Amino acid sequence: MAQKIANVILDKDFSIGTVDSRIYGSFIEHIGRTVYGGIYEPNDPSSDENGFRRDVIALIKELNVPIIRYPGGNFVSGYNWEDGVGPRESRKRRLELAWNTVETNEFGLNEFMKWSKLANTDVIMAVNLGTRGVNEARELVEYCNHPSGTYLSDLRVSHGFKEPYAIKTWCLGNEQDNHPQIGYKTATEYGRIAAEAAKVMKWVDPRIELVACGSTNGNMPTFPQWDATVLEHTYDHIEYLSLHSYYWKKDGDTASYLASSVEMDAYIRSVISTCDYMKAKKRSKKTINLSFDEWNVTRQWGEDHFEPWSIAPPAGEHIYSLEDAIVGASMLISLLKHADRIKIGCQAQLVNFIAPIMARPGGEAWRQTIFYPYLHASLYGRGTVLNPVISSPLSDCKEFTDVPLLETVSIWNKEMEALTIFALNRDQVDSLQFKCDVRNFAGYKIIEHIVLENQDDQDASNTFENPNQVLPHNKGNASIDNGMITAELFKLSWHVIRLAKVV
């Protein structure tokens, strides 16, 4: 059989857009052991005086996470933010209906804001538009962002936080089009309350920017009409529309799972089209950008079993394989390919629940396989996304046709004179010969070729017992000659080819 070859041409004069660092954000919700036993565990040997796990914070800093969405997610649609502030001894325990647990409120808004500073990350705060509404939304902004001199801002000061948090980005609820969501609404119902909440929130603090709920996913029966109707009401008040997508292997169909980002790309294009249609309809000069504030690979939902009304039960603690890491990497590439419109991305969740970081109670934290593409993109994917010319072998699978075996995106950092090529090979059997024309980047040389692979077992995983079974290495064989890069992309592998200008 002839060797499979993929060709790419890159030119610094042809670009898609500049990467907003927030595209490498994440998400922490009160679900499973994400908070309790994840970022917060007072009795853990690694925890500081606040009860924050130092080992988890260290891994989050390693990822260089720029922003984190909090506190939900489905959780926020039944959450009273007031329950999580003030003296702990006076906080109320509540039945948490979204996840059938008990919320102790031991950890709340102020603890999260203190934690986020230690983790060197900004915050996207979500307001409850499920069981609550306009008044509670503007009161939360006042508590967080107003300096002092009013009841709510002085209440924050009395809780020990003199300086306002100055939270810039806010989500107007969560997945309100989904029937299981607490406070489910029609598109018109949600659009109206979101518009009114947005209006008064910006009256309290005109500096904030807002994310309205798009469809829960691209397979919702009301998509994309929901999005269009919501934009009809909110267009003049918001800056972003949200997207959510999760992918998992269905019925053992590995090939379709590996091609998941094909569906993700189509979903993104549809939402962009919907936003631009509404821009034209309203004759607006403003462009609505996208916040892909929930995305990840996962397992089929419904496999967790725990006692109802327990506190922070283990849930969604999926152990990810190399295969999962490749799909997650392809999703990162999809986000970057649309960097002109996607300004915020949140991999969900950050710790324990479908997460890149796992933390064992009383034990160590470790990196899952999906940690590494996220790490590489966050560290090296800052700059301008180039618009490439790509020729790749194609394959068909059960759910998709003409799936490219090569998935790739390239980032040029002009100031640092650095070029990073992210590439993956979906092929489960054969290597792919990668050829990339970079003659427009005179004087650039390869400084590193990072590879994530496991040629013996595509189901290989990192576990507590064996946390280093799948590790990236820098022994890739990329070379450059007369402006042409050549490299072998091994079967089912993720690659980071880094170049810099040699003076």
pLDDT digits (tens, 9 = 90+) for 348-359: 999 999 999 999
Structural fold of domain 20-253+285-328+339-371? TIM Barrel (3.20.20)
Instruction: Please tell me the predicted confidence (pLDDT) of residue 502.
Output: 87
DSSP state of 461: B
pLDDT digits (tens, 9 = 90+) for 468-478: 999 999 999 99
Catalytic residue among 29, 41, 103, 175, which? 175
Instruction: Please tell me the predicted confidence (pLDDT) of residue 301.
Output: 59
d(C-alpha 503, C-alpha 495), whole Å: 26
Burial of 389 (0-12, 13-18, 19+ CB in 10 A): exposed
Per-domain residue ranges for the chain?
5-12+386-501, 20-253+285-328+339-371
Is-contact 390 7, C-beta < 8 A? yes
Confidence of residue 61 (pLDDT cuts 50, 70, 90): very high
Burial of 283 (0-12, 13-18, 19+ CB in 10 A): exposed
3-state secondary structure 32-84: CCCCECCCECCCCCCECCCCEEHHHHHHHHHHCCCEEEECCCHHHHHCCHHHH
pLDDT digits (tens, 9 = 90+) for 205-236: 999 999 999 999 999 999 999 999 999 999 99
Report the first-to-last Cα separation within the chain, whole angstroms.
42
Instruction: Please tell me the predicted confidence (pLDDT) of residue 299.
Output: 82
Confidence of residue 363 (pLDDT cuts 50, 70, 90): confident
Query: For the domain bounded by 5-12+386-501, which CATH number is listed?
Result: 2.60.40.1180
- Residue the block writes with tokens 């490498």: 24
Other C-beta atoms lying within 10 Å of the C-beta of residue 422? 24
pLDDT above 90 covers a percentage of the chain that reads: 96
pTM: 0.97
pLDDT digits (tens, 9 = 90+) for 476-490: 999 999 999 999 999
Does 294 participate in catalysis according to the annotation?
yes
Catalytic residue among 41, 196, 263, 294, which? 294
Q: Cα separations (Å) of 442 from 417, 477, 482, 487?
A: 11, 21, 9, 19
Cβ-count burial 464-493 (b if 16+ within 10 Å, e if not): eeebeebebeeebebebeeeebebbbbbbb
pLDDT digits (tens, 9 = 90+) for 383-430: 999 999 999 999 999 999 999 999 999 999 999 999 999 999 999 999
d(C-alpha 42, C-alpha 305), whole Å: 26
Q: Cα separations (Å) of 139 from 94, 105, 145, 155, 204?
A: 21, 19, 10, 11, 9
Does 263 participate in catalysis according to the annotation?
no
